[in-house]
Amino acid sequence: MPLTDTEWGVVTAWVRDYLLDTPDPHDRLRQAGYPNTFIGSLALTAKAGDNAASLVRAVRHSITAQLNLLDVLLTLGDLTSQFEPQVLALRARLADDERVHVSDQDHFRAGVLRNGAEVFIDRAQLRERLREFLADPEKTVLVVDGEPDSGRSYSYSLIRYLGQHCGFRPVRVTLTHTTAAAQLIRQIAARLNPEADPPQLNPTPLNDPLSAHEWAVQQIVTRATAAPEAFWIILDECDRLASTSDAWDAIGQLARALFEHGPAPEGIAPRLVLLGYPATMPQLPYEIRKTVCRDTARILGRDDVDDFFRTYFTQAPVPPADAVRLAAASAAAVWEAAQAPASGDSPMRRLCTAAETAVGTWRSLPPGADYADLLHRRLGAPAALEPAAPSEERRAYRRAACLLVRFEPDTLRLPGEPEPSGRAQQELVDDCATIATNPPVWTLRDDVREAALADLPGPAAARRCLEANLAQVQAGPAPERIALAYLSGRPPDARRLDADALAAAQQAVMWLSRIPGAAGIPDPGQFQNLLERVRLLQPLRRLLEE
């Protein structure tokens, strides 16, 4: 599997601090073995951070170039003395990617990802839809719907895998109940090019926010089309979006803009993928109907698990002599373990975790060991399928970031720390999504944020976390400031807030309601009603102001 954006953020920091922290980056890269033509293609400056971002952006186009960069980093003694295991782990994943990339296997049929650390079970229809979508330049939108817990967001794992081997780069934005159009547009723009200025949301200024958003969407599509790499814009968990959100209009505008741009030169046209986009919500523009691929996810059954292990064992490069028996034993053990009552992950995730345990057990099986017995013992262990408990330090950094919309991991502070330790980048690399790369700006994944909010001892601890990181808060209406006002006993008057401040307040109270012992927090629905009213009256107010 390709490295995540946060992992590339860590690599960028290593490049900045250990490779390009020099007044002559050209000479440093020549010493590292890079050819002059490649060095000349980079926009090198006197700033190590800019140079690191430029180098990493350039090597991401090729697995071989990615491996070469990590090999260069492994020659740096100052770096390897601290982070050699982490660099080697990332390199091993990329080496596996390169092995798969040059093999003759059908990437669309892949069932084992990340060198056995992740599996993708069934979804034959999705695999064919993705093949069709990638092959037809006239197709611009892929819609994946289905029942909850049927694997709609799970589809992203296969899309990420295919991106590494089929020449496109997926950029993912996960929607929430409070996502607004302006927020969605800024997030997409930042994922596409973190170094570029954000799109103008009201350039004229226009009285109609819809027209202003459409202008910004056109900028996004124009930039994505002109980029040297093919982007797939992934909007995940669409069904979490409020039915009254103006983000639905922005999604429709984005789909129409991609359609109107038409097919670009091979491999360059951006695409849109909507995961969890229900038929009951606002539909896409009528005129794009012939450019849409659709897939309906379904909940996995026992037959799917049987088929997965039958394929895994019987179609291995060197199938074991008793492949059929091993497949049957694996499927039975995995299905039984996944059906056991437990808390924590969803049934879909538990099933995949059990299958990953089986694959890992087989691959690491000691000579002469009984596979079936060992697998039963591993799957039957207490909490075998539960997520691994994070370390106390990782939990502390999660709590420090859980009330921040965005943060720089280099400067995230724990309460009581006089200076940032810089440890947040290593501790939270698997818990975040990237917003910007230079300097790195991250945001906690929604599931991690929910767990961290529930992990806070109480409102006082939440206030200390916020106060330690006020420098991370952006100017203007921000959920962090409103959350701190409630935690400090000075709540704002909701009736006096404008649309942006109401959206921020709604997000703040939703977070605060998850904190144990929080009292006096209003119902988020109150802010939703006020927000709808303000948005309805906004054009009239602008007209009167003029």
> What ranges in 322-391 are assigned the alpha helix state H?
323-339, 347-363, 371-380
Q: Hey, what are 101's tokens?
A: 């990339």
> What is the residue whose two structure tokens read 């939990």?
395
Q: Could you tell me if 53 and 12 are in contact, meaning their C-beta atoms sit under 8 angstroms apart?
A: yes
Residue (of 248, 508, 276) closest to 403 by Cα position = 508
What does the pLDDT look like over 440-492, one tens digit per residue? 889 999 889 999 999 999 999 999 999 999 999 988 788 999 999 999 988 88
**What type of residue sits at position 500?**
D
Residue 294 dihedral angles phi and psi, to the nearest 5°: -130, 145
Backbone angles phi, psi at 292, to 5 degrees: -105, 130
pLDDT at 115: 66
Convert 494-519 into a string of H (helix), E (strand) and C (coil). HHHCCHHHHHHHHHHHHHHCCCCCCC
pLDDT, residue 542, reads 63
> Rounded distance, CA 388 to CA 282, Å?
39
Q: How confident is the model at residue 146 (pLDDT cuts 50, 70, 90)?
A: confident
- According to DSSP, residue 407 is labeled B
- Residue 199's identity, in one-letter code, is P
Task: At 28, give phi and psi (nearest 5°).
Answer: -65, -40
Written as six digits, the tokens of 540 are 């009239």
Question: pLDDT tens digits, residue range 213-252?
Answer: 888 898 889 888 888 888 999 999 898 888 888 899 999 9
Q: Which two tokens stand for residue 117?
A: 């650390």
Rounded Cα–Cα distance for residues 165 and 108 (Å): 10
Which residues are 297's β-sheet partners? 146
CB atoms within 10 A of CB 22: 13
pTM, two decimal places: 0.84
Mean pLDDT in the chain? 86
